[in-house]
Copies of this chain bind each other. A is one copy, B any other.
Amino acid sequence: MWSNHINYHCIMRTHQLVLTWIENELSAGRLMVGGRLPAERSLAEQLAVSRTSVREAIRILEAMGVVRAGVGSGPEAGTVVISDPTAALGSALRLHVATQHLPVKDIVETRVLLESWAVSQASPDAPGLRNAAALLAGMDEPGLSVDEFLALDVQFHLALADAAGNAVVSAMMGSLRESIQGYAGRLTANLPDWAATASRLMAEHHQILDAITAHDGGRAAKLVAAHIEGYYQEAGLGPSA
């Protein structure tokens, strides 16, 4: 698609020219996270293109989680560079799931693969693990609604993924989660006895954390795989797809 390399001798659409310019600014370090792009009108004049084309490029970067656009004046305004890879990967995966060219089964399988690897690599003293333990404590609180429990569950698993210290794996895990979030939420309605399921999930969570703390990455990986696959099978993924 957009070649990283020389496009100068190729004809390219105007918004791709803008895109290439911005990407070069990023690569060269002249634009950094937290920095701001020139105003749309100004950038259009600089690159001798229309504001429309600049906007199309910015819209793409926004969808990719590379910039955030804000109206008005002040620190929250303007187009500022951020870095949210999960947003891009998540939207893309969700859209392709919608086209039914990415089976949910493959997404779950990939999630098992990545999360198993993450916990197998996690060091017991990784900074994120303390966070994970705190989340577990929060999930033990009585009187939590299903939605509250699931929200904490998502955060717990993301904390596990972060513990491996690989930003790409963390981003992919987050996007996989996001892409099937609606799907997983619907599955919950299939569960015959939510209280029983929740208590089983919590027991498994503690086992996983214990295995990591005990430096037993292999066991942690197996537990995570069983944990995830068990949930989806109980909720009815298995037979349908």
Contact = CB atoms under 8 A, between A and B. Distances in A.
B64 A33 contact: no
Q: How many copies of this chain does the complex contain?
A: 2
A106 B166 contact: yes
B52 A65 contact: no
Interface in A44-103: 52, 55-56, 59-61, 63-66, 81, 83, 85, 87-96, 98-103
Interface stretch (A140-148, A167-175, A202-210): A167-175
A64 B66 contact: no
Interface residues of A, number: 56
A92 B88 contact: yes
A172 B110 contact: yes
Contact of A102 (B32, B85, B103): B85
Nearest to A64: B92
A55 to B, nearest CB: 7
Interface of A: 1-2, 4-5, 15, 23, 26-27, 29, 32-33, 52, 55-56, 59-61, 63-66, 81, 83, 85, 87-96, 98-103, 106-107, 109-110, 113-114, 117, 166-169, 171-172, 176, 181-182
